[in-house]
Structure 1
């Protein structure tokens, strides 16, 4: 069973402001990640969260493994999103 993907208000707002091509790439990558999160996600060292790289964009995800939820906390262009 695939994980469910949810967005924070901040991430949803940033997602809506992206151009259509970037939104489609990120949505497609999130669908693939929901099928097998352990394969696609990389753990962040500074906080208990995960990152997903989608081209020039970085998506920060909080994973609830027991509840099978991927919560998109933040997303942004790699040049401006903090590491």
Structure 2
């Protein structure tokens, strides 16, 4: 059973600011994990969300197993994205 993917407004804006090559690789990776997301995702400790590694970039995802949905909350370079989610969820 495949999960549905929803992109938040924040994640769409962040994706549009990236180089096209990086943005395409992130989109492909998110689409790739739809069939078995738990195999690819790592749980975050401070918030109830997961991270997906795509090179030097991280995609922060909310996983709902009951509804079989993935919500891409935000994304960014690994040096910045954790600071951003700290501000968002504090």
Do they fold alike, i.e. is TM over 0.5?
yes
Which one has a larger percent helix, Structure 1 or Structure 2? 2
TM-score, normalising length from structure 1? 0.94
TM-score, normalising length from structure 2? 0.87
Q: What do residues 31-63 of structure 1 show as CA deviations (whole Å, max 9, x unaligned)?
A: 111111010000001111000010010000001
CA RMSD across the alignment: 1.0
Q: What do residues 2-21 of structure 1 show as CA deviations (whole Å, max 9, x unaligned)?
A: 11111111111101111111
Q: Does 1:42 align with 2:31?
A: no
Q: CA deviation at 1:64?
A: 0.9
What are structure 2's unaligned runs of at least 5 residues? 84-90
Matches within 5 A, 1:5-16: 5-16=5-16
Pairs aligned (count)? 83
